Amino acid sequence: MSLERAILLVVGIIVLGSVLLGVYVSPNWFWLTGIMGAHLIQSSFTGLCPVVVLLKKIGLPARAGFT
């Protein structure tokens, strides 16, 4: 798995999980969904993403994400 696809997987799991928790547990979990959306916008401009740093440390190779 490439770094780019792993990022998509991690963010997708977090967003889907927070929506399900928001529906079935507490609406406060929707804050996590909003924070993830804001983080995606922020990282698209700055390139700063803690998930990328973590995934690079475990050795995932960087390749084109959608080829």
For residue 13, is pLDDT > 60? Answer: yes
Asked if residue 64 is part of any domain, the answer here is no
Asked if residue 37 is part of any domain, the answer here is yes
Structural domain range at position 41: 3-57
Cα distances (Å, whole numbers) of residue 33 to 2, 19, 20, 29, 61? 24, 7, 10, 7, 27
Asked if residue 65 is part of any domain, the answer here is no
Stated as kind and residue range, the H or E segment containing 57 is helix 50-57
Asked if residue 26 is part of any domain, the answer here is yes
- Number of independent structural domains in the chain: 1
pLDDT tens digits, residue range 21-50? 999 999 999 999 999 999 999 988 998 888
Asked if residue 66 is part of any domain, the answer here is no
Report yes or no on whether pTM surpasses 0.85: no
The number of residues making up the chain comes to 67
